A = this chain, B = another copy of it.
Amino acid sequence: MREFDLIQRFFDRPTRQGQVRLGIGDDGAILQVPEAHELVVVTDTLVEGVHFRATDGADNLGYKALAVNLSDLAAMGAVPIWALLNLTLPEANERWLGQFSEGFFSLASQYDVALVGGDTTRGPLCVSVTAGGWVSAGQALTRSGAGVSDRVWITGTIGDAALALALGEQSLASGGSETRWLLDRLHRPTPRIGIGQALYGLASAVIDISDGLLADLGQIVGASGQAGAIIEATSLPLSPAGESYPLDDRMTWALTGGDDYELCMTVPQAKSERMRRLSKEAGVSLTDIGCITDQAGIVLTRAGVPIAGPSRAGYEHLWPVIGEGDS
């Protein structure tokens, strides 16, 4: 199959996105950015054996490769508009490509995101998606605005993806609707696009939870130049799907399990009522789990009393260092 045919067949889809002046098929894509708006760009790579397994399903991979990027756009408060797909494949397996593109476009069409270009190459399976969107000038959300005593809020429930991973594919696939729900939490996360766009003027800082709550809240604390935060363990929103597991495990999954792609945000105390209203209007649970403090570190409490947290903060992207001091 020629690269041209492969792209035509699996990836060149009509779009309703009016801001695409030129999509797939030229040296580049051309987009119209609306007046008084800024461009937000995000990108993420998924590598086989690191971020997903061959058994995870090509449809799930196509979906997730876009979802993790839309989640980043959500955390910036941007409206997603377009995406580029860099797909490195060992071979052109038609069934695999059909499933991958089905998963990708099932999410893309939901948010009217146009696939405007990309590159298809041969090599070990690896997927990079770059996504772009617009935000009203000056209204993008960042990690760096959290103030002392701001409340810490999160969307949805956390620890689900880690639970699904811990249980293992086999036991989940054979299970009922609850386990299927857990599998979807791992493979088909919901980018919190609507909530992200509603946070301007409400949240002082936002991040999406990809590496685990402690690690990602730590990013907000650090980027905002703050000392630390308190998280009240009994406030953490855990899903009923994990109810039969020991509470200690559930806490560890919730605090250190990545891959949930919920939003974590800090909000001045005076705006708590507005957050509760937003939750009702959007139909997405928003939970107050703690606050930013001027005490160093992220402290876990139970009914206000500090308790020991999990030994690891979350998924750390660690690299074996080769040639330290070589250069």
User: Chain A interface (Cβ within 8 Å of chain B)?
Assistant: 1-4, 6, 21-22, 25-33, 35, 37-51, 72-73, 75-76, 78, 82, 84, 86, 88, 91-96, 98, 116-124, 126, 128, 130, 132, 135, 137, 140, 142-144, 206-208, 223, 316-327
Contact = CB atoms under 8 A, between A and B. Distances in A.
A322 B93 CA distance: 5
For the complex formed by this chain, how many copies does it contain in all?
2
Contacts of A46: 121
A37 B33 CA distance: 8
Nearest to A89: B319
Nearest to A206: B27
Given A30-B38, A35-B35, A119-B44, A321 B92 contact: yes
A326 B120 CA distance: 21
A26 B76 contact: yes
**Considering the complex of A and B, which 6 residue pairs feature the smallest CB-CB distances, nearest first?**
A3-B317, A92-B319, A47-B123, A28-B42, A124-B124, A27-B75
B26 A223 contact: yes
Contact of A40 (B29, B47, B206): B29
A223 B22 CA distance: 13
21 contacts: A1-B321, A21-B140, A25-B143, A26-B144, A27-B75, A27-B143, A28-B42, A28-B73, A28-B76, A29-B41, A30-B135, A30-B140, A32-B38, A46-B121, A47-B122, A94-B322, A94-B326, A123-B126, A124-B126, A128-B128, A130-B130
